[in-house]
Amino acid sequence: MSAQAEKLELEELDKTLLKKNEPKPLGKYERIIQPYVAELIMTRENYMNATGATFSVLKSDEQLGKAVFAEMAMTCLVTMVVLLGAVNGKSKSPLV
C-alpha cells in the first residue's frame, strides 16, 4: 500500500470514528424513551434493583460452571479475532 493510500485511509478513519474520550451525546431516544420502556416491561422491584445484574443472574452453584465456560469461550473468540486481525494485514478491517 502506498503512503498516499495509507494517508487517505487514516483521514477517513478520523472522519468516521469518535475522537478519544469524547462520548457521543445522548439523543432523545436514549434520554427519554429507553428508561420508560425499561420501566414498563419490568416489575418495579426488578427496575429499582437493576444494578449488579451479573450477580443476580446466577441463582445456584450449578449454573456457575456454565457461566464460567461461556465467559472463557467468548474471551477465546475475542482474542482469536484480535490476533487474526493483527496477523492478516491484507484484508484487515478498521474494526479489528
What's the pLDDT at 55? 57
CB within 8 A of 96, min separation 6: which ones?
81, 82, 84, 85, 86
pLDDT tens figures, 28-56: 878 888 878 877 888 777 776 665 555 56
Q: Rounded mean pLDDT of 72-80?
A: 94
Q: Which residue has the higher pLDDT, 50 or 88?
A: 88
Q: Contact 62/77 with Cβ under 8 angstroms?
A: no
pLDDT tens figures, 58-74: 677 788 888 889 999 99
